[in-house]
């Protein structure tokens, strides 16, 4: 078992990674909790035993579950069941589940403890860690949410054995960004899966510890997500999150190159990494550029216009005031190369 601490003072917690990690669930719950509300989806098929009185609350499958309606439904169900502020919520599933369970826990009784048991690669290396929770609006992804740190995260690698191949690849799209966030991420593709997960968690834990509420450096964790979220919001391109992020990573590299921030070799490394995980690196057919640019302006990271997360001589960092012509040139390169 690999243990990675997330150092946040009195909100610190451990991330446990490895075979059978879910068996530690009872030991990481709040000592005074008498009930556990287990939030999951019907297609997850990964049972946990909190060791206390518990009830399973299943939310809708897919991204559509990330809505304010789901939050209201969960909170009302918890109130009817008798969940109290001293109890605990357990999120079991992918990023959708941990986002929804975490946000509902953050607002129910103004804050109930939450523990996550992510069952996807994306959930283990990103969504379940760091305390960012949220749901979507028709106008964009993750526009309503809260920072609410879990009490622990249990990354049981047994859960990954039943993931469909496309879901596995989608998780690797999120993993791909960690190649470029830290020097320690450069050889990620050479590690076994549990060590890949642990390496990503270490990188994310260090970033979160330095900027818990995304006031500055934490924004780099959204590398590849600016265009990725726009592509997901359109909804008609049949892209999973990691697939959209992979395209976003290559686009961000091309945009950085157009702006003179990186050379062709660095762009090539982005393409190599994305390709090594069998992920897409070009725009979907029929993409509407004006629609994409409009959606970029609604991204939750937009401050005084679109805030891009771009590579450069000082590493990945926020960049503002990117001209439209540079975006168009990068989009051209994304399609033609």
Q: Would you name the residues annotated as active-site residues?
A: 110, 132, 174, 204, 214, 218, 222, 225, 229, 241
Tokens at 148, concatenated: 């609410």
Tokens at 61, concatenated: 């499958």
Sequence-distant (≥ 6) Cβ neighbours of residue 120 within 8 angstroms: 93, 94, 95, 159, 160, 163, 167, 170, 171
Q: Which residues of 239-257 are buried (b: 16+ CB within 10 A; e: fewer)?
A: bbbbbbbbbbbbbbbbbbb
Please say whether the dihedral angle defined by the alpha carbons of residues 273, 279, 284 and 285, taken in this order, is positive or negative: positive
Is 79 strand, coil or helix?
Answer: helix
d(CA 281, CA 251): 8
Half-sphere exposure of residue 19, counting CA atoms within 13 Å on the CB side? Answer: 0
Length of the chain: 337
d(CA 210, CA 212): 6
> Residue 11 class from Cβ within 10 Å (0-12 exposed, 13-18 middle, 19+ buried)?
middle
Is 55 strand, coil or helix?
Answer: strand
Tokens at 138, concatenated: 């028709």
DSSP string, 94-146: SHHHHHHHHHHHHHGGG--EEEEEE-SHHIIIIITSSSEEEEEETTEEEEEEE
Range list of H helices, the chain: 25-28, 68-81, 95-107, 121-122, 165-177, 193-210, 225-234, 241-258, 264-276, 289-296, 324-336
Tokens at 199, concatenated: 């390496």
């Amino acid at each position: 078992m690999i243990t990675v601490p997330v150092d946040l003072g009195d909100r610190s917690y451990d991330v446990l990674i490895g075979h059978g990690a879910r068996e530690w669930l009872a030991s990481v719950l709040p000592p005074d909790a008498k009930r556990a509300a287990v939030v999951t989806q019907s297609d997850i098929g990964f049972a946990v035993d909190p060791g206390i009185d518990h009830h399973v609350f299943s939310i809708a499958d897919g991204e559509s579950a990330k809505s304010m309606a789901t939050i209201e439904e969960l909170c009302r169900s918890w109130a009817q069941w008798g969940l109290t502020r001293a109890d605990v919520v357990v999120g079991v599933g992918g990023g959708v589940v941990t986002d929804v369970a975490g946000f509902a826990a953050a607002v129910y009784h103004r804050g109930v403890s939450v523990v996550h048991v992510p069952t996807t690669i994306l959930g283990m290396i990103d969504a379940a860690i760091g305390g960012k929770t949220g749901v979507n609006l028709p106008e964009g992804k993750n526009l309503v949410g809260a920072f609410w740190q879990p009490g622990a995260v249990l990354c049981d690698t047994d859960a990954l054995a039943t993931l469909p191949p496309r879901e596995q690849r989608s998780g690797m799209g999120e993993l791909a960004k960690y190649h470029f966030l830290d020097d320690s991420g450069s050889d990620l593709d050479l590690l076994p899966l549990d060590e890949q997960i642990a390496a990503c968690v270490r990188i994310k834990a260090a970033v979160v510890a330095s900027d818990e509420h995304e006031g500055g450096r934490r924004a780099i964790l959204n590398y590849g997500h600016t265009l990725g979220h726009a592509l997901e919001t359109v909804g008609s391109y049949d892209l999973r999150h990691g697939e959209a992020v992979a395209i976003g990573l290559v686009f961000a590299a091309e945009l950085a190159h157009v702006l003179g921030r990186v050379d062709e070799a660095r762009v090539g490394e982005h393409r190599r990494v994305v390709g090594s995980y069998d992920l897409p690196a070009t725009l979907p057919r029929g993409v509407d550029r004006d629609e994409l640019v409009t959606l970029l302006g609604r991204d939750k990271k937009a401050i005084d216009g679109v805030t891009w997360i771009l590579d450069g001589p000082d590493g990945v960092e926020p960049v503002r005031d990117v001209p439209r012509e540079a975006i168009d040139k990068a989009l051209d390169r994304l399609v033609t190369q």
